[in-house]
Chain A
């Protein structure tokens, strides 16, 4: 029992409340909003330290014992995700200070970001399936409003797609919960793990598992369900797009990993090939569509999709190495992907467009921006010594070990295409001779834009250079996921 686990939810809630009461004053909103997220980050690190040293932490809300009440659980995987989420929230909120319009900062931006982080944190921590649904809804409601604020014609178009797809996904999720409860009689994840492992009534469990799979795939933008993402993400301001790209899809992936390692483990001959196929096609489709684009935001948005494929591949391999690779890749991808979007925002600030054909010549006039772009871009492409290399290496090695040749080949090929897209951005946007007037080309970027990008770039390098402890940590997290007995024991107590 430790109330510490509730802080990632209570801190943003309290921040939102204070922000609502301090309506309308920009500097107050900035201080409280960013301070609240910084506090969340501290709490997340604290939880991570506790979980790392003392094992899985559990709290039963309202003292109701496990299968009956709502349980909050933090294992290594969720505490890692908590830290990364708070980090991205913090960086994008700092980046937002000079980039988001004043009016929005005065009223809505900071409360919404904190509310969304509350939903994300709750989703990472909860040990109850229905409670996960509630946190998902908290998260997507906040994201709806964040996405539709402002509202140009194209933004409306993307927003309607985003809202409709997410609502359909939520309803499928809820239908899955209904069927699961009807069959298993419980919604506590640890209890479900026990009951489902013991039963062999495949029919209803498979149908609800399929509903969950479709629902989470929609949220994670997996292969047949990805089309809403490139339509909606690029339309928001960059600080918001980067925040979404780091977190929203990853919560769907988190739920997939949690569900398909903890309790939907029956019938592996069906699920694991399905996951591998979905992952493989997602990678290919995402990266190929990205290669045909000439708008920086759209290239990066399609890359989100292809990167999700890698993580799902790790899950589909279902070995300790594969899942460790998936966790590492997820952390790397959240950091690097958000960072490329933030750099794209800088480019927009300098050139006033995202169209690669019109940007050109940034390397000569803004070498610092070029450097800041190269680090996450090469990280995404998987060039050593950056973080993406280690992630791809882990996944590919795991793929060879599991003797899944096709998917591993696809993963390698997609890495090459990713490099192609990144080099394309580099060639067109940075190296090509600038066609416009060079004399006016000496704008200064605000420090609040440079600092978060630089910090995230530093993390990309550190994850790659000092990979050893991180990989080891991911291995331990993957062990906890593959063998859930410690999770079940922590939630239900010794006597189960």
Chain B
């Protein structure tokens, strides 16, 4: 399982970098989404994969059952997902605005000459 997820991480990163290098903003945003997911899987894998029950203490017990999964990487990923959700929503709105203002989604159409 660890091996599969590691390979998946690599594939996701590769796809993300490829997309980020494209000129189109839509693809760039897709790249950012991929990058976020790749990072989440990476955190998940490096936090250690265990075949265990969730980190809950059963009713009436004082301590948890023997093997519980480490809840911290899951909490980190959940937080990261929430944050990237906000970021994606923002960048979609930004993309729309970029299109409205410049009339293109190609980054190279808006050149340095436009500045200043």
A residues contacting B by CB (< 8 A) are 130, 134, 137, 141, 144-145, 148, 151-154, 156-160, 163-164, 167-168, 171, 174-175, 177-179, 181-183, 187, 231, 234-235, 295, 297-298, 354-355
Please state if B94 and A163 are interface contacts (CB–CB under 8 Å).
yes
Is B60 in contact with chain A by the CB < 8 A criterion?
no
Q: Which of B20, B38, B87, B110 contacts A156 (CB 8 A)?
A: B110
What is the distance, in angstroms, from A147's C-beta to the closest C-beta of chain B?
10
> CB distance A178 to B73 under 8 Å?
yes
Instruction: Compute how far the CA of A153 lies from the CA of B116 in the bound complex, rounded to whole angstroms.
Output: 10
Q: What is the CA–CA distance of A181 and B72 in the complex, to the nearest angstrom?
A: 9
Q: Using an 8 Å CB-CB cutoff, how does the interface string of B24-40 with A read, 1 for contact, 0 for none?
A: 01001000100110110
- Tell me if A151 and B97 are in contact (CB < 8 A): yes
Closest to B72 in A: A181
Write out the residue numbers on chain B whose beta carbons fall within 8 Å of the beta carbon of A158. Answer: 115
Q: Does B76 contact A (CB under 8 A)?
A: yes
User: Which 10 A-B residue pairs are closest in the complex by CB-CB distance?
Assistant: A182-B46, A178-B43, A157-B110, A154-B115, A178-B46, A171-B35, A171-B39, A174-B39, A156-B98, A137-B83
Chain B's interface: helix, strand, loop or mixed, by majority?
helix
Given A137-B87, A167-B35, 8 extra CB contacts under 8 A: A130-B76, A144-B90, A153-B101, A154-B115, A157-B110, A160-B98, A171-B38, A178-B45
Q: Contact at A295–B107, with CB atoms within 8 Å?
A: no
- Cβ A134 vs Cβ B79 within 8 A: yes
Q: Which one of A154, A177, A179, A183 lies within 8 Å of B114 (CB-CB)? A: A154
Kindly list chain A residues whose C-beta atoms are within 8 Å of the C-beta of B79: 130, 134
A156–B97 touching, CB < 8 Å = yes
Q: Which residues of B contact A187 (CB under 8 A)?
A: 72
Instruction: Report how far A486 CA is from B80 CA in the complex, Å.
Output: 32
Query: Given the complex, which residues of B lie within 8 Å of A152, measured CB to CB?
Result: 101
| Assembled-state Cα–Cα distance A167/B90 (Å) | 12
Return 10 A-B CB contacts under 8 Å, by A number.
A137-B83, A151-B97, A153-B110, A154-B114, A171-B36, A174-B39, A181-B47, A183-B46, A234-B115, A297-B116
Known: A137-B83, A145-B90, A163-B94. A157 touches B114 (CB 8 A): yes
Given A160-B25, A168-B35, A231-B115, the answer on whether A175 and B43 have CB atoms closer than 8 Å is yes
Closest to A293 in B: B116
CA distance in complex: A221, B66 (Å): 48
Task: Give complex CA distance A181, B91 in Å.
Answer: 29
Chain B contacts with A in 50-89, Cβ cutoff 8 A: 72-73, 76, 79-80, 83, 86-87
Q: How distant is the Cα of A463 from the Cα of B116 in the complex, in angstroms?
A: 34
Q: Does B42 belong to the interface (CB within 8 Å)?
A: yes
Query: Which residues of chain B come closer than 8 Å to A183, judged between CB atoms?
Result: 46
Pair B43/A148 contact, Cβ less than 8 Å: no
Contacts of B90 in A (CB 8 A): 141, 144-145, 163
Chain B positions within 8 Å of A, measured between CB atoms, are: 20, 25, 28, 32, 35-36, 38-39, 42-48, 72-73, 76, 79-80, 83, 86-87, 90-91, 94, 97-98, 101-102, 107, 110, 114-116
B101: contacting residue among A151, A179, A235, CB under 8 A: A151
Q: Which residue of chain B is the closest to A204 with respect to CB atoms? A: B46
Could you tell me the distance between the alpha carbons of A187 and B47 in the complex, rounded to whole angstroms? 12
Partner of A157, one of B48, B91, B115: B115
Are B107 and A160 in touch, CB under 8 angstroms?
Answer: yes
- Partner among B28, B47, B80 whose Cβ is within 8 Å of the Cβ of A174: B80
Cβ–Cβ < 8 Å partners of B47 in chain A? 178, 181-182
- Chain B's closest residue to A178 (CB) is B43
A179 and B25 contact, Cβ closer than 8 Å, known pairs A141-B87, A156-B97: no
Given the complex of chains A and B, what is the CA–CA distance between A369 and B109 in angstroms? 39
CB of A173, distance to nearest CB on chain B (Å): 9
Of the residues B45, B73, B91, B116, contact of A234 by C-beta under 8 Å:
B116
Q: Tell me the bound Cα distance from A168 to B46 in angstroms.
A: 20
Establish whether residues B102 and A156, one from each chain, have CB atoms under 8 Å apart when the complex forms. Answer: yes
Q: Given A151-B97, A154-B116, A164-B20 in contact, is the A182-B102 Cβ separation under 8 Å? A: no
**Nearest CB of B to A225, in Å:** 14
Closest to A230 in B: B115
Q: A179–B9 Cα gap in the complex (Å)?
A: 13
Are A164 and B32 closer than 8 Å at their CB atoms?
Answer: yes
Q: Is the CB of A163 within 8 A of B91?
A: yes
Whether B46 pairs with A181 at a CB distance below 8 angstroms is: yes
Report the separation of the CA atoms of residues A158 and B87 in the bound assembly, to the nearest whole angstrom.
17
Q: Which residue of B lies closest to A134 (CB)?
A: B79
Q: Verify A182–B35 contact, CB threshold 8 A.
A: no
Residues of chain A with a CB closer than 8 A to B20's CB? 164, 168
A144: chain B residues at CB < 8 Å are: 90, 94
B residues in contact with A174, CB < 8 Å: 39, 43, 80
Closest to B48 in A: A182
Across the interface, do B110 and A177 meet the contact criterion of CB distance under 8 Å? no
Residues of B within 8 A of A156 (CB): 97-98, 101-102, 110
- Contacting residues, chain B, for A234 (C-beta < 8 A): 115-116
- Report how far A181 CA is from B87 CA in the complex, Å: 24
User: Shortest CB–CB separation between residue A148 and chain B, in angstroms?
Assistant: 6
Q: Are B94 and A160 in contact (CB under 8 A)?
A: yes
Q: How far is the CB of A387 from chain B (nearest CB, A)?
A: 30
From residue B77, how far is it (CB to closest CB) to chain A in Å? 9
A145-B90, A154-B115, A168-B35 known; A177-B98 Cβ under 8 A = no
Distance, CA A179 to CA B83, complexed state (A): 19
Chain A residues lying within 8 Å of B80, measured Cβ to Cβ, are: 174
Residue of A nearest to B113 (CB): A154
What is the bound-complex CA distance between A352 and B28, given in angstroms? Answer: 36
Q: What residues on A are CB-neighbors of B97 within 8 Å?
A: 148, 151, 156
